[in-house]
Structure 1
Amino acid sequence: MIIGTAGHIDHGKTSLVRALTGIETDRLKEEKARGISIDLGFAYRTLENGARIGFIDVPGHERFIHTMLAGVGGIDFALLVVAADDGVMPQTREHLAIIDLLGIRQGIVAITKSDLVTEDRLLAVEIEIEALLAGTSLEAAEILAVSNTTGAGVATLEERLASAALAHGRRSASGCFRLAVDRSFVIQGTGTVVTGTVLSGEVGIGDAVTVSPSGLGARVRSIHAQNEKAERGRAGDRCALNLTGEGIGRGAIMRGDMVVAPALHAPTARIDAELKVLASEAKPVGQWFPVHLHHAASEIPARVVLLRDEPIAPGEQAFVQLVLERPLAGAAGDRFVIRDTSARRTIGGGRFLDLRAPSRRRRSPERRAQLEAMAITTPSAALARLLDAPPYLLDIATFARDRALGEDETAALASDTIRIPPDTGSMVMAPARWLRLRQRLLADLDAYHAENPDQPGIGLERLRMLGEIRPPAPVFRMILQGLQRRGEVSLDGAWVRRPGHVVRFSAEDEGVWGLVKPHLTGEERFRPPRTRDFATMLDLPEARTRAILKRASRMGLVHEVAHDFFFARPVMAEIVTILRDVAAGKAKGEFIAADLRDRLENGRKVSIEILEFLDRHGVTLRRGDIRRLNPHRLDLFGQTTAGEDNGRESSPVGRPDFKFEREHPKEYRPDIESP
């Protein structure tokens, strides 16, 4: 168990720790000269049953509240110290408020200097303390009178602390390893040593770790746990880790950093949280309010973004977004405290809820439902609630990582869900939602085929937008791929159909198509005739020729790249393959229209029309005259299937979706995340 002291300056915190452990925690020359604690101090005591108690002694001066916060972030038990002669003082109140905000519910109050006052004064101070504790996390804490000078009451305090330690036991070592660094130094001949409290998981000698948020990799050379040599350090231990690795040296690791299992390294500078403003605050917290954020041993300037219209009044709690000046390494559920920018007062505190907070739509009803789910502390219950709120699915790997959950815990959570893709995917849905989504997708497809028998299928984006559940486009494609493996749908480029659905030309149109196709797939395939040219060539009315080519487009045999300008589907696949080759030979994969023109030998105008068509569908990304390929959209123009070679089953990505693009510009752009 880790015990942290708290209380006003000169109330005897350091002397009390010395009386309990025999260890002087003031180690700095300035501390000894001035008789006050400036930095964190550490001491240990072994109980009769062999268990070790760690003590973190914090400074009491108001100028060192930031240091106090760095020390108490990982403690299990608070030892609040109040001097009998002074009674409750300003830092007594502020330290208690911080303990309450950090959710520390175990503690005891020691009234020091009891030998200097009368019994009546002791009773008055005890009554004052009881009033102070009312309504806080230490409301039920025992109050004991002690004297660091005479030793009176110290033995009783020792017994109470030993009993609390035995009742507390050891923290569970489940989850991934995290240590909050509160000291970092270099020892000649040993190397870099970091100390801190292990917040979760465990670590062993030889383990690979990552310093976050910097991302430096390291290996654990040796471990001291609870001030003793050890093979492993685990949750709840005060640990010193001797680290080695490239870049690990003086100044590389600072107070406030985290040493974590490599899988947990995912720093963030935007966090959705639950914030409680202290009742003692004079004014409400408004929009974009500047603060200093204290988390574990870190201190970072930040802004509070309200997720509602009204300011947060003193004593009130609300959801907020914290926008940090620099990234931190945290976990969902971690406690934090905010103070004013001049470091004169504590404003409030709360819990991190979502480390991947969105910058857009953060005040929507859907987002609020997600935050209410994330506020549930039990992972299984939070997951179930999240999967019952839009968008009805989530990335289980990110969910587990941001809660520092271990592999076994993650597997247990995922066992009651449907994975996307099946069995191996990290996206999960509740079984009931999955069943509803599957049934709705198949029903929508059947209805579309009934209403549009002359079309080979429905555009993937259009199908996605029809449903109540609208997964992001990449996830929706994975869902459809899973249904395709089950034989329930067929995917063809950006179109979806039922496996048995086939579209055919009429006998008369089939004859015309037989004359057109060789021009679209032969030597002139990269610069095929336009509709007017085909009409002249075949001696057909232009309207009739256009109608047949449009039908071929709906059947997926051709793409209408520009008005009345059609390319065979396999030819577009060939062009995309050529573009991949062009990009591979260019610095940064960037190319211009002339590069495609030179490869296809089809003229600048035609090459630009082809590229603009690919721009519209996100296959190419344009900036001025320069383009690059979007690897996430290349499959829209895949190679042809056997069915296309005989003029049957296929699906276009072209003209039929232009109307949808105009109606849904946001959803259609590949660089905008789907809702």
Structure 2
Amino acid sequence: ESVVIVNDVIRDDGYCCSSFYGVVEVVALGPTLASDNMAGESGSTNQAQQVQNRQPHLSKQDIVHLDIKSLTPLSHDVISRQATINIGTIGHVAHGKSTVVKAISGVQTVRFKNELERNITIKLGYANAKIYQCDNEACPRPDCYRSCGSAKEDSFVCDRPGCNGRFRLKRHVSFVDCPGHDILMATMLNGAAVMDAALLMIAGNESCPQPQTSEHLAAVEIMKLKHILILQNKIDLVKESQAQEQYEQIQAFVKGTVAEGAPVVPVSAQLKYNIDVICEYIIKRIPVPVRDFLSEPRLIVIRSFDVNKPGCEVDDILGGVAGGSILRGVLKVNQEIEVRPGVVSRDQDGKLTCRPIMSKIVSLYAEQNDLQYAVPGGLIGVGTKMDPTLCRGDRLVGQVLGAVGALPDIFTELEISFFLLRRLLGVKTEGDKKGAKVQKLSKNEVLMVNIGSLSTGGRVLAVRADLAKIGLTAPVCTEVGEKIALSRRVEKHWRLIGWGQIRRGVKITPDT
């Protein structure tokens, strides 16, 4: 069996602790398929049969007879194995975002210590959950809704006494759980995570609104997210009268915003109280997003690694693995792919050159589920035939993976129209001090620019009214019209100061 191992932690007894998706999962290592087995139709058929043998409880994906035109985000063979709806969790720090995600999906969206120190990409925690509904109409709501992890079978018997119904799979959702606060804002604004809806967390034992709650709501308005569910968390810590009083505060707070009229659900993530109500809301109130399956596929890389353990035999070396979210199109096993900008270097004259990486997809994964084809939604692991050194330790982060010849241009300089926030986010100031106001952009200052999943330095070369020219430290593969987030160094921290939209730029032609 071909297994994508996702961390170099291999135990002596031939088991591997994989921590790719923030899940510690023990995967049995079978004999590895040599990658040349994968070539040609026979290879893909063999592999499809093997996948079928490995996860017989999930719906079978047949790549040979795949008709992309007939796929929808609710096609059974898709949602059986991967998520198709992305839901962001937003709210003030320590209001229970990760805990709620864990209560719904059973997945702990762990983050690694070094991510926060090294200011590399925004490591989004993704956790997938399947949402079921009992097919017996007499089954009372909300007990007839249930959520489970993504590896659970697609239908199982309802455990309510006297109910002979079965739970059937209705939705497969991915929760995007963002770590840092500024980082969350940058991520939300620049489209590294495609969010279809949001859960706004408000802790019941604190007054509403807390500072970040209103900022996140502002970001949601900028993104034009329509579907919001407000969760009044930690309800087990307060009296009924307090909860009622805070409910009125919440209603006053969201009046006039995009969240006006959004349902407020009292929950306790620790005690798993009312989690089934959230499931009901997700099925009934969040419409299935319209996805573009027919365009050429494009995936933003947010993680990448070398899955080979030290001292492994040359014949057994596996190609590099890239993990990311598909923006559009369908990726298939055995497809030829290109990664841009690829390998970036300077020639003797100090001129930047980019050499895109060409490769082939060997395997696709969503959490532990093996895929034959992957559609937009959730985090997808792509096993390739790339040199694993190119993928080691997140080297591919910020690059774009897609069909050969169909990726956008590579830019080294951008001209943007930008919009600055009125004041800095997350900086508490006494009274109305000058410090919290966002100063105008000045020539030659260095900003951090977030484009897709790439964080890079950008020097302001020229600025006029709401237009700026920015020279980038690292070349980026993007297109005109994309949104970018701008951050400035304030008191040793990068703080989000605004966002912009690419109007045009200086391109470099990649070496072939």
- TM-score class, shorter-chain normalisation, is 0.5 to 0.7
2:473, 2:251 → 1: CA distance? 40
1:15, 1:291 → 2: CA distance? 34
1:279, 1:173 → 2: CA distance? 39
1:151, 1:259 → 2: CA distance? 39
Match of 2:396 among 231, 254, 263: 254
Match of 1:207 among 321, 331, 335: 335
Match of 2:441 among 252, 276, 286: 286
- The 3 A distance-change label for structure 1 pair 320 and 108 is farther
> Is residue 18 from structure 1 mapped to residue 87 from structure 2 by the alignment?
no
Query: Once the 2 structures are TM-superposed, how far is the Cα of residue 223 of structure 1 from its aligned partner?
Result: 0.8
Conservation of the 8 A alpha-carbon contact between 1:182 and 1:196: yes
Match of 1:168 among 288, 312, 315: 288
Conservation of the 8 A alpha-carbon contact between 1:62 and 1:91: no
Which residue in the other structure is 2:28 paired with? none
Query: Once the 2 structures are TM-superposed, how far is the Cα of residue 304 of structure 1 from its aligned partner?
Result: 4.8
Query: Once the 2 structures are TM-superposed, how far is the Cα of residue 218 of structure 1 from its aligned partner?
Result: 1.9
Query: Once the 2 structures are TM-superposed, how far is the Cα of residue 149 of structure 1 from its aligned partner?
Result: 2.5
Conservation of the 8 A alpha-carbon contact between 1:69 and 1:294: no
> Is residue 273 from structure 1 mapped to residue 393 from structure 2 by the alignment?
no
Conservation of the 8 A alpha-carbon contact between 2:410 and 2:507: no
Query: Once the 2 structures are TM-superposed, how far is the Cα of residue 12 of structure 1 from its aligned partner?
Result: 0.9
1:303, 1:132 → 2: CA distance? 38
Query: Once the 2 structures are TM-superposed, how far is the Cα of residue 233 of structure 1 from its aligned partner?
Result: 1.6
Alignment of 1:185-196 (within 5 A): 185-188=305-308, 190-196=318-324
1:122, 1:12 → 2: CA distance? 16
Query: CA offsets, 1:9-32, max 9 Å, x none?
Result: 22111110111112222265899x
Task: Structure 2: give runs of 5+ residues left out of the alignment.
Answer: 1-84, 116-121, 133-168, 309-316, 343-355, 425-436
Q: TM-score, normalised by structure 2?
A: 0.59
Alignment of 1:600-615 (within 5 A): none
1:332, 1:168 → 2: CA distance? 28
> Is residue 177 from structure 1 mapped to residue 332 from structure 2 by the alignment?
no
Query: Once the 2 structures are TM-superposed, how far is the Cα of residue 307 of structure 1 from its aligned partner?
Result: 6.0
> 3-state SS of the aligned residue for 1:115?
helix
Query: Once the 2 structures are TM-superposed, how far is the Cα of residue 323 of structure 1 from its aligned partner?
Result: 3.2
1:78, 1:13 → 2: CA distance? 11
2:280, 2:489 → 1: CA distance? 41
- The 3 A distance-change label for structure 1 pair 2 and 249 is same
Match of 1:302 among 458, 463, 467: 458
Conservation of the 8 A alpha-carbon contact between 2:303 and 2:394: no
Query: Once the 2 structures are TM-superposed, how far is the Cα of residue 187 of structure 1 from its aligned partner?
Result: 2.0
- The 3 A distance-change label for structure 1 pair 190 and 125 is farther
2:252, 2:462 → 1: CA distance? 33
- The 3 A distance-change label for structure 1 pair 123 and 142 is same
Q: TM-score, normalised by structure 1?
A: 0.46
- The 3 A distance-change label for structure 1 pair 270 and 71 is closer
Asked which structure has the greater RCO (Cα within 8 Å, sep 6+), the reply is 2
Which residue in the other structure is 2:130 paired with? 46
Match of 1:349 among 499, 502, 505: 499
- The 3 A distance-change label for structure 1 pair 300 and 230 is same
Identity %: 26
- The 3 A distance-change label for structure 1 pair 272 and 301 is same
Alignment of 1:352-501 (within 5 A): 352-355=502-505
Query: CA offsets, 1:33-55, max 9 Å, x none?
Result: xxxxx953222112334532111
1:4, 1:213 → 2: CA distance? 29
Conservation of the 8 A alpha-carbon contact between 1:210 and 1:260: yes
Which residue in the other structure is 1:221 paired with? 362
- The 3 A distance-change label for structure 1 pair 29 and 245 is closer
Which residue in the other structure is 1:509 paired with? none
1:296 partner letter: G
Match of 1:149 among 263, 270, 273: 270
> 3-state SS of the aligned residue for 2:484?
strand
1:200, 1:57 → 2: CA distance? 21
Alignment of 1:602-641 (within 5 A): none
Which residue in the other structure is 1:325 paired with? 473
1:127, 1:323 → 2: CA distance? 48
Larger radius of gyration: 1
Conservation of the 8 A alpha-carbon contact between 2:304 and 2:391: no
Query: Once the 2 structures are TM-superposed, how far is the Cα of residue 355 of structure 1 from its aligned partner?
Result: 4.9
Conservation of the 8 A alpha-carbon contact between 2:126 and 2:379: no
Query: Once the 2 structures are TM-superposed, how far is the Cα of residue 172 of structure 1 from its aligned partner?
Result: 1.7
Query: Once the 2 structures are TM-superposed, how far is the Cα of residue 91 of structure 1 from its aligned partner?
Result: 3.3
Higher helix share: 1
Which residue in the other structure is 1:338 paired with? 486
Figure out how many residues of one structure are paired with residues of the other and give that number. Answer: 344
Query: Once the 2 structures are TM-superposed, how far is the Cα of residue 139 of structure 1 from its aligned partner?
Result: 4.8
- The 3 A distance-change label for structure 1 pair 223 and 88 is same
2:485, 2:295 → 1: CA distance? 24
Conservation of the 8 A alpha-carbon contact between 1:177 and 1:201: yes
Higher strand share: 2
Query: Once the 2 structures are TM-superposed, how far is the Cα of residue 93 of structure 1 from its aligned partner?
Result: 3.6
Query: Once the 2 structures are TM-superposed, how far is the Cα of residue 222 of structure 1 from its aligned partner?
Result: 0.8
Which residue in the other structure is 2:243 paired with? 122
> Is residue 9 from structure 1 mapped to residue 100 from structure 2 by the alignment?
no
2:212 partner letter: Q
Conservation of the 8 A alpha-carbon contact between 1:293 and 1:301: yes
- The 3 A distance-change label for structure 1 pair 320 and 58 is same
Match of 1:90 among 211, 218, 221: 211
1:25, 1:43 → 2: CA distance? 6
2:114, 2:411 → 1: CA distance? 37
Query: Once the 2 structures are TM-superposed, how far is the Cα of residue 122 of structure 1 from its aligned partner?
Result: 3.1
> 3-state SS of the aligned residue for 1:341?
strand
Q: CA RMSD in A?
A: 3.5
Query: CA offsets, 1:490-520, max 9 Å, x none?
Result: xxxxxxxxxxxxxxxxxxxxxxxxxxxxxxx
Task: Structure 1: give runs of 5+ residues left out of the alignment.
Answer: 32-37, 311-317, 359-397, 399-675
- The 3 A distance-change label for structure 1 pair 70 and 352 is closer
> 3-state SS of the aligned residue for 2:100?
helix
1:271, 1:21 → 2: CA distance? 40
Conservation of the 8 A alpha-carbon contact between 2:190 and 2:483: no
> 3-state SS of the aligned residue for 2:364?
strand
Which residue in the other structure is 2:73 paired with? none
2:265, 2:462 → 1: CA distance? 42
> 3-state SS of the aligned residue for 1:340?
strand
